[in-house]
Structure 1
Amino acid sequence: MLNSIKLKIGQSIRNKKLNVFGLFFLIAFLILVVTKLSENYVETIPLSIEYKNLPETNVITLDSIPKVNVTVSTHGFNLFSYYFYDKTYILDFENSTDLKDNTYLWVAEKGRYAIKEQFGNSVEIVSVKPDTLVFPFGKLSSKKVPIILKSKINFRSGYDVLNEIVLVPDSVKVIGAEEEISEIEFIETKPFDLSDVKTNINTLVDLEFVNTSKHLKLSEEKTRIKAEVDKFTEGTFKIPITILNKPNKKDVNFFPKYITVSYYISLKDYKHVTPNDFKIECDYNEVLKSGNPYFTPKLIVNSSKVKSAKMKQNKVEYIIIK
């Protein structure tokens, strides 16, 4: 037991020595830091540029705004504080630039006072690089362009869109410099995919604008996709063939006399379509021009209710009887 007590006393003494050493080490480190921060340093600080007082009718056409590198001389405490503050220079177009043709010119000497004011009196501005910045600009203009739907819509078997897919709005104004918007012919939506659709579509989709200049704006950021979806079915009719431009004093015998037409239509409109809504015509003048020994029939659909239609046969044989 006596040995155990001696061991604990020894550990306690060693721990106290370590704690005292650690305390003196920390004090020495802090003194060193304070001493270093009290000295003067020359350091280059990059400043991002934001601007104000740009006329509303103008837009800067640079792809990216340049930075300004400001070399300063000051003690370490000031430099240390800059690592925790926003390093941004606010460029005032009204008071800090000169207008020349279609560009704004910023000269470092002219903007030096504003930079000095931003850093404070305890900081000496050694240099500002670059010493000149050029900001080309264009006059704001607008152009109306159509919206193109990028979509993959798959309907459940037996279902389809009743009329057509509608975009509201179907066009958008592009606002920006005239030389930039002149190259834009349309704006696409972001990809819009649906599968197994059997109900009406009515939803908003964002417009895709990532591939254009960031200086351009759109009058709308979204468009609404609307479509009436219904159950569809297929029907068939036998439609008689009509011969156009028959030759005088000659008879045209042709076969077949009827062609079966299959059509695709919504279930609710199925009863409203009759054979009279379809025509099949063959033009004798066309075979005279082509020299073909057969007619190429043309299908004419006179009903807007029919989604699609096709003939089961695309040739009509004929002979001329004198």
Structure 2
Amino acid sequence: MSNAANKIWQEVRFFLRKISWKKILTFSFFVIIAAFLWFMQIYNQYFETSIIVPIKYISVPDSIIFQDSLPSQISLRIKDNGFSMFKYYFKKRDTLRLDVSAIINSSSSKVLQGSTFDMYVRKALPTSTQILNYDPVRISFNYAILEYKKVPLIFDGQINLSPGYFLNSDIKIIPDSVMAYAAKPDLDKLMFAYTVNDTISGLNSDKRISFKLASVKGIRFVPEVVSIDVPVEAYTQKNVEIAVECLNLPENLNVKFFPSKVKLSFFVGVSEVDSIKIKDFSVAIDYDGIKESKQVSVPVRITSSPSYVRNLTISPPNVEFIFEYKNTKVQ
């Protein structure tokens, strides 16, 4: 340690020794007691404040549509003691839950107000809280009955896989159709429901993803959220050599191809690598298509391959050929 640092440390120690820690601790003790008594006094007093409580509508029948927009929150003027007020500011408030089916079945006017509304509001607050007023004071549940039909669901999003992975089968939508509720003219024009146009990237394993349905004005879909199963698998590249065949060749002719074999390159899922067999592949040239040809080489086409291979290519794509007559013995 340098002399300057040692000198500073000596001065700090000297300063700390001069402090009367007994007096500081005594003072701190009385400050804590005073603060405690002050908080107790505050907690026992009553205060007024305004709060916002979110509204959640439950048990909404699928076959109805509301003619008026429903409020998403209610503004309350309340009175309570300091302890409860403290909880209002630092604790998540309860949601006001309104049972729509119960309300529209029990009220001929389809309006929530008065003592019935008070009862629902009271459930969202502590028992000690006094409700001074709230806004809105009434909610109208006037509705119209909707027609409905089942429509097919189309996935309109985009799935981007990580490098080295591909889809080993089709994407599956669960469910594959949804119920649509709307006025008859709107329903008659509706042919399909679509998921939202969203993009999911970086998938490297099987995944079930939730997608919302794209909204259509005047139409309600049930369910509003569907699942998309994405079957993902790592792939590898493989090559096989296959002899070129000639289809519809007359019995009195032989044909020679140059080269006689072609290489097939393809991608396959790692789970299917052991299933690959040479006999599952075939490549051919049709005699009827080349017998009058004056070209030096002709294209080779793939006549069979396993369904689980991807991006199948031929090398070379064309081969040369020559016909020869078979030797016949004269009896």
Normalization by structure 1: what TM-score? 0.53
Give how far 1:186 is off. 9.0
Summarize the Cα distance change of 1:186–1:298 in structure 2 as closer, same or farther, 3 Å threshold: farther
Matched, 1:66 2:85: no
Q: Any idea what the Cα deviations from partners look like across 1:105-138, whole Å, max 9, x if unmatched?
A: 6558742222124435532212223345578897
Match of residue 197 from structure 1:
none
Q: Distance in 2 between matches of 1:275 and 1:120?
A: 82
Secondary structure class of the residue paired with 2:277: helix
The match for 1:17 among 15, 18, 23 is 23
Summarize the Cα distance change of 1:268–1:121 in structure 2 as closer, same or farther, 3 Å threshold: closer
Give how far 1:74 is off. 2.2
Summarize the Cα distance change of 1:227–1:86 in structure 2 as closer, same or farther, 3 Å threshold: same
Q: Distance in 2 between matches of 1:173 and 1:216?
A: 13
Matched, 1:216 2:224: yes
1:245-256 → structure 2 map (5 Å cutoff): none
Letter in 2 for 1:269: I
Secondary structure class of the residue paired with 1:209: strand
Q: Any idea what the Cα deviations from partners look like across 1:74-106, whole Å, max 9, x if unmatched?
A: 222221233336432222223445899xxx865
Mapped contact 1:40–1:73 kept (Cα < 8 A): yes
Summarize the Cα distance change of 1:189–1:126 in structure 2 as closer, same or farther, 3 Å threshold: same
Give how far 1:262 is off. 6.3
Mapped contact 1:59–1:139 kept (Cα < 8 A): no
Give how far 1:43 is off. 1.0
Match of residue 3 from structure 1:
none
Mapped contact 1:144–1:171 kept (Cα < 8 A): no
Match of residue 206 from structure 1:
208
Mapped contact 2:242–2:283 kept (Cα < 8 A): no
Q: Distance in 1 between matches of 2:231 and 2:313?
A: 26
Match of residue 33 from structure 1:
39
1:150-169 → structure 2 map (5 Å cutoff): 150-152=159-161, 165-167=168-170, 169=172
Q: Any idea what the Cα deviations from partners look like across 1:134-179, whole Å, max 9, x if unmatched?
A: 78897886544356883558679xxxx9xx9423747742546546
Match of residue 290 from structure 1:
none
Q: Distance in 1 between matches of 2:54 and 2:180?
A: 24
Aligned pair count reads 257
Give how far 1:47 is off. 1.6
Q: Percent identity?
A: 12
Q: Distance in 2 between matches of 1:146 and 1:78?
A: 51
Mapped contact 1:52–1:93 kept (Cα < 8 A): yes
- Structure 2 unaligned spans of 5+: 1-13, 183-189, 216-220, 248-256, 267-275, 307-311, 320-331
Letter in 2 for 1:204: D
Summarize the Cα distance change of 1:237–1:48 in structure 2 as closer, same or farther, 3 Å threshold: same
Match of residue 114 from structure 1:
120
The match for 2:240 among 233, 239, 250 is 233
Q: Distance in 2 between matches of 1:119 and 1:171?
A: 40
Summarize the Cα distance change of 1:87–1:227 in structure 2 as closer, same or farther, 3 Å threshold: closer
Summarize the Cα distance change of 1:177–1:72 in structure 2 as closer, same or farther, 3 Å threshold: farther
Matched, 1:184 2:191: no
Letter in 2 for 1:184: Y
Summarize the Cα distance change of 1:124–1:94 in structure 2 as closer, same or farther, 3 Å threshold: same
1:276-291 → structure 2 map (5 Å cutoff): 276=285, 280=289
Normalization by structure 2: what TM-score? 0.52
Matched, 1:88 2:95: yes
Give how far 1:72 is off. 0.4
Mapped contact 1:57–1:140 kept (Cα < 8 A): yes
Letter in 2 for 1:21: F
Q: Distance in 1 between matches of 2:285 and 2:84?
A: 91
Secondary structure class of the residue paired with 1:112: helix
Q: Distance in 2 between matches of 1:170 and 1:280?
A: 44
Matched, 1:304 2:304: yes
Letter in 2 for 1:40: Y
Q: Distance in 2 between matches of 1:95 and 1:273?
A: 68
Letter in 2 for 1:173: D
- Structure 1 unaligned spans of 5+: 1-6, 195-202, 241-257, 284-293, 314-322
Q: Distance in 1 between matches of 2:245 and 2:154?
A: 42
Match of residue 127 from structure 1:
133
Secondary structure class of the residue paired with 1:150: strand
